[in-house]
Chains A and B, each alone.
Chain A
Amino acid sequence: MEEIIRLENVKYSYKSGGNEVRAVKNATATFYRGRLYSIVGRSGSGKSTLLSLMAGLDLPQGGEIFFCGKSLKEIDRDHYRSHEVGIIYQSYNLIPYYTAYENVELALDVLGSRIKNKDELIYGVLEKVGIDREKAKRKASRLSGGEQQRVAIARALSIDPKLILADEPTGNLDSETSDEICKIFLKLAHEDGKCVVIVTHSKEVAKLSDKIYKMKDGVLQEAKLISQRELAEEDLTLS
């Protein structure tokens, strides 16, 4: 199996209200191509911080993160984010006064390379996540939560990344929409061969994963590969 991202004793802390918060403690894990991973845990357990470190938004203060065998310390992290990683957030993080189309186009602009048939690519990727041409022309602020999340996924996919990181992608969505979004992630991993890592509170999302990691007080624990039944019995009560 092709290794996409590997964490080795990753540590990260930050100051909050004058106190030092050790958000991530010696996290070690390897994530492979074509797999869907979930990281579950209570609020404030350090899941989102870990995901941000994997996204190259910051560097760990201890340990190392390797992308395709190369340390993130040694590569241009801006280039890494623009070419190799698609990031999806709970709050979508779309530019509200841009249309769905323009939000996707933004990622391609940052990519920098001249793209032939850009329109086709953008509309194609939007259609893939269920946004038709009419909705693609609407401003992001005029789309529903589910639609905005689809646009955010489309934006992440538009650059054809090896790694997709999603931080609570269904956190603001109803269960029906949430299911649809989960199916998209599953398809991306199993059919398109992406490495998808989802930080979630949701049992339903975690159930679909190939592997589940639990995060507790900054410690990342690999959950045993469990069956659907076992998963249902696993304590994922998070809040």
Chain B
Amino acid sequence: MQGLLKRSVRNILRIPARSILLGLLIFVVSFLTMMGFTIESGTKTSIMNIRRSLGNDVRLSVNFRELMRRYQQGEDVEIPTLTEEIAKKLLSSKYVINYNFVISQNATSDTIKPVEINISTDNMRQKAGRIFGFGRQDQQQTFRLVADLKPELSNDFRNGNKQIIQERFINQQDLSNKAYVVVVDKLLADKNNLKVGSQFDLKLSDSSKSFNVMVIGICDEKTSTDEQNSFSAMSSNTIYIPYTTLKEIVKSIDPNSADVITYAMYYLDNPLNADNFKKDAQKLGIDTTKYMLNANDNLFNRIAAPIERVSSFSRVTIIGILIAGAIIIMLLMSIVIRERKLEIGILRSLGLKKGKLAAQFAMEALIITLVATILGGVIGGALSQSVANALLNKEINAQQQAFEQRGFMMMVQRDANLSNRIQERYSELTKLEVKIGVNEVLKLCGVSLLLVLCVSIISIYSISRFEPMSLLVSRS
């Protein structure tokens, strides 16, 4: 062993050009793969952080996108209804730790007027209508009634977009009593001179039957910038009502719709289990052509897209480099072995066994690989943050340009479902922090061993082919 090591070191040092060439090649492979591994790992962490930051909630609703697709293909489409019975199926998933069912209905009133929406462009008006569930014609005439089975989980309040500024929000007692009480927005209250205790009439759209409700609390937007004002106004026409009350009103109009809900929210034990939960849903019989589960997927995709592109770029780079590197190293080794035929012949004629000779070549490769990998790994790791930043900035700029062209930029910054918490962290979430961990080091060691293996395979193959007699006799 000592002789083997000594001979290997001697051979490396005595023919520096050969060793440097091989070492340089392995250095480049190690350098680039280390960079790839750290960037890849950084993107995974960032994507997990984004998923965590978007919360652990998953929304079940009618899959209008799929229905629209089928409709556009000329199929006869019947709009399915989402019922409590269907939504309750998912409660048996082990990932669900809490849930909320929500009914949302459009309503009109003869006694109060909605807050006027001042939207500058038709385009934005259309988007507003899409988000808040009313058409362009009647958007200034309607209110949106929202009823949560669990008021403490009401979406607008939970994600920090709204807060109660007077009295209280709807509670369990209101639900138990099926009380005709509501919480209104400050803008709506101001416009109609409503105070806690005021009463007014409402009627559901498509119904002439009106009902009287009493204001028990007033809420307000937490933050409101100029560009958000239009959306704030639309949101101001949202009126919160007890779940049981709205259900009773709907039932009185159409008994068949008593069990219908607009959507269900499920809160998971871990945001990273969103995909597992979706798989569970399929197992539990949720028809994905009719219903969709959305774990803030649009938002997630929008924030994570540049990072995912960097991730796939680094993944492709790693694979490409490994394949190209292995091929080049094997070719180089076959040339080196050819050049060392005399040495092989001499050693074999001296009685050195093929295995020991192959071990010597492998040892030489191992030493060169070890040195080149350490250098490549350290330098690659050190430069990976700068490279990751450059790649990510390029991707973000490309995405921003694409959004600007499509007029979506504002939507990215202010999504109806985008909580203030997420907005504040938007730039932080789209950062890519790479670091060298044990995993990356182990992976690089794996790559090094793979390279040594490539070199050894070529050595063993060549050595087994060469016979000392032909090598030396022909030379003589």
Interface positions of A (Cβ within 8 A of B): 48-49, 52, 55, 57-58, 78-83, 87, 89-91, 93-95, 97-98, 102, 106-107, 109-111, 155, 167-168
Q: Is B7 touching A109 in the complex (CB atoms < 8 A)? A: yes
Chain B 321-354 against A: per-residue CB contact (8 Å), 1 yes, 0 no?
Answer: 0000000000000000000001101110111110
What's the minimum C-beta distance from A98 to chain B, rounded to whole angstroms?
A: 7
Task: Name 15 extra pairs, CB < 8 A, besides A81-B350, A89-B475, A98-B10.
Answer: A48-B473, A52-B469, A55-B349, A58-B469, A78-B352, A79-B351, A89-B476, A91-B476, A95-B342, A97-B14, A109-B7, A110-B347, A110-B351, A110-B352, A111-B351
What's the minimum C-beta distance from A140 to chain B, rounded to whole angstroms?
A: 11
Taken together as a complex, chains A and B put the C-alpha atoms of A91 and B476 apart, in Å, by 6
Taken together as a complex, chains A and B put the C-alpha atoms of A48 and B468 apart, in Å, by 13
Taken together as a complex, chains A and B put the C-alpha atoms of A110 and B472 apart, in Å, by 18
* Chain B residues whose CB sits within 8 angstroms of the CB of A89 once the complex forms: 472, 475-476
- Can you name 30 A-B residue pairings with CB atoms under 8 Å? A48-B473, A52-B473, A57-B349, A57-B467, A57-B472, A57-B473, A58-B467, A78-B351, A78-B353, A79-B351, A80-B351, A81-B351, A82-B350, A82-B351, A83-B351, A89-B472, A89-B475, A91-B476, A93-B342, A93-B346, A93-B349, A94-B346, A102-B10, A106-B7, A106-B350, A109-B3, A110-B347, A110-B351, A111-B351, A168-B476
Taken together as a complex, chains A and B put the C-alpha atoms of A107 and B349 apart, in Å, by 10
Taken together as a complex, chains A and B put the C-alpha atoms of A94 and B342 apart, in Å, by 9
Taken together as a complex, chains A and B put the C-alpha atoms of A110 and B475 apart, in Å, by 22
What's the minimum C-beta distance from B77 to chain A, rounded to whole angstroms?
A: 77
* Chain B residues whose CB sits within 8 angstroms of the CB of A110 once the complex forms: 347, 350-352
Q: Is B442 an interface residue (CB 8 A)?
A: no
* Chain B residues whose CB sits within 8 angstroms of the CB of A97 once the complex forms: 14-15
Taken together as a complex, chains A and B put the C-alpha atoms of A79 and B352 apart, in Å, by 8
Instruction: Give the nearest-CB partner of B346 in chain A.
Output: A93
Instruction: Give the nearest-CB partner of B11 in chain A.
Output: A97
Taken together as a complex, chains A and B put the C-alpha atoms of A168 and B343 apart, in Å, by 20
* Chain B residues whose CB sits within 8 angstroms of the CB of A98 once the complex forms: 10, 14
* Chain A residues whose CB sits within 8 angstroms of the CB of B473 once the complex forms: 48-49, 52, 57
* Chain B residues whose CB sits within 8 angstroms of the CB of A57 once the complex forms: 349, 467-469, 472-473
Chain B 1-12 against A: per-residue CB contact (8 Å), 1 yes, 0 no?
Answer: 001000100100
Instruction: Give the nearest-CB partner of A167 in chain B.
Output: B476
Interface positions of B (Cβ within 8 A of A): 3, 7, 10, 14-15, 342-343, 345-347, 349-353, 467-469, 472-473, 475-476
Taken together as a complex, chains A and B put the C-alpha atoms of A217 and B253 apart, in Å, by 117
Instruction: Give the nearest-CB partner of B474 in chain A.
Output: A48
Q: Is A93 touching B472 in the complex (CB atoms < 8 A)? A: yes
* Chain A residues whose CB sits within 8 angstroms of the CB of B351 once the complex forms: 78-83, 110-111
Taken together as a complex, chains A and B put the C-alpha atoms of A139 and B234 apart, in Å, by 90
What's the minimum C-beta distance from B358 to chain A, rounded to whole angstroms?
A: 13
Q: Is B352 touching A82 in the complex (CB atoms < 8 A)? A: yes
* Chain A residues whose CB sits within 8 angstroms of the CB of B467 once the complex forms: 57-58
* Chain A residues whose CB sits within 8 angstroms of the CB of B469 once the complex forms: 52, 57-58
Q: Is B476 touching A95 in the complex (CB atoms < 8 A)? A: no
Instruction: Give the nearest-CB partner of A84 in chain B.
Output: B351
Instruction: Give the nearest-CB partner of B15 in chain A.
Output: A97
Among candidates A55, A90, A94, A107, residue contacting B476 with C-beta atoms closer than 8 Å: A90
Q: Is A81 touching B14 in the complex (CB atoms < 8 A)? A: no
* Chain B residues whose CB sits within 8 angstroms of the CB of A52 once the complex forms: 469, 472-473
Instruction: Give the nearest-CB partner of A89 in chain B.
Output: B476
Top-7 shortest CB links A-B: A82-B351, A81-B351, A57-B469, A109-B3, A97-B14, A110-B350, A58-B469
Taken together as a complex, chains A and B put the C-alpha atoms of A12 and B14 apart, in Å, by 39
Q: Which of B342, B467, B468 has the most CB of A within 10 A?
A: B468
Among candidates B3, B14, B345, residue contacting A93 with C-beta atoms closer than 8 Å: B345
Taken together as a complex, chains A and B put the C-alpha atoms of A106 and B357 apart, in Å, by 12
Instruction: Give the nearest-CB partner of B340 in chain A.
Output: A95
* Chain B residues whose CB sits within 8 angstroms of the CB of A83 once the complex forms: 351
Instruction: Give the nearest-CB partner of B356 in chain A.
Output: A110
What's the minimum C-beta distance from A197 to chain B, rounded to whole angstroms?
A: 15
What's the minimum C-beta distance from B52 to chain A, rounded to whole angstroms?
A: 60
Taken together as a complex, chains A and B put the C-alpha atoms of A105 and B182 apart, in Å, by 98
What's the minimum C-beta distance from A206 to chain B, rounded to whole angstroms?
A: 19
Q: Is A93 touching B475 in the complex (CB atoms < 8 A)? A: yes
Q: Which of A83, A107, A155 has the most CB of B within 10 A?
A: A107
* Chain B residues whose CB sits within 8 angstroms of the CB of A168 once the complex forms: 476
What's the minimum C-beta distance from A93 to chain B, rounded to whole angstroms?
A: 5
Taken together as a complex, chains A and B put the C-alpha atoms of A82 and B346 apart, in Å, by 11
Q: Which of A57, A98, A155 has the most CB of B within 10 A?
A: A57
Instruction: Give the nearest-CB partner of A199 in chain B.
Output: B476
What's the minimum C-beta distance from B260 to chain A, rounded to whole angstroms?
A: 86
Q: Is B350 touching A107 in the complex (CB atoms < 8 A)? A: yes
* Chain A residues whose CB sits within 8 angstroms of the CB of B475 once the complex forms: 89, 91, 93
Instruction: Give the nearest-CB partner of B345 in chain A.
Output: A93
Instruction: Give the nearest-CB partner of A108 in chain B.
Output: B3
Q: Is A95 touching B343 in the complex (CB atoms < 8 A)? A: yes
Q: Is B347 touching A106 in the complex (CB atoms < 8 A)? A: yes
Q: Is B349 touching A81 in the complex (CB atoms < 8 A)? A: yes
Instruction: Give the nearest-CB partner of B343 in chain A.
Output: A95
Q: Which of B345, B350, B475, B476 has the most CB of A within 10 A?
A: B350
* Chain B residues whose CB sits within 8 angstroms of the CB of A93 once the complex forms: 342, 345-346, 349, 472, 475
What's the minimum C-beta distance from A77 to chain B, rounded to whole angstroms?
A: 8
What's the minimum C-beta distance from B144 to chain A, rounded to whole angstroms?
A: 86
What's the minimum C-beta distance from A112 to chain B, rounded to whole angstroms?
A: 8
What's the minimum C-beta distance from B154 to chain A, rounded to whole angstroms?
A: 81
Taken together as a complex, chains A and B put the C-alpha atoms of A79 and B7 apart, in Å, by 20
* Chain B residues whose CB sits within 8 angstroms of the CB of A87 once the complex forms: 349
What's the minimum C-beta distance from B467 to chain A, rounded to whole angstroms?
A: 7
* Chain B residues whose CB sits within 8 angstroms of the CB of A80 once the complex forms: 351
* Chain B residues whose CB sits within 8 angstroms of the CB of A49 once the complex forms: 473
Taken together as a complex, chains A and B put the C-alpha atoms of A94 and B346 apart, in Å, by 7
Taken together as a complex, chains A and B put the C-alpha atoms of A110 and B349 apart, in Å, by 10
Taken together as a complex, chains A and B put the C-alpha atoms of A127 and B369 apart, in Å, by 40
* Chain A residues whose CB sits within 8 angstroms of the CB of B472 once the complex forms: 52, 57, 89, 93
Q: Which of B3, B345, B346, B475 has the most CB of A within 10 A?
A: B346
Taken together as a complex, chains A and B put the C-alpha atoms of A7 and B467 apart, in Å, by 22
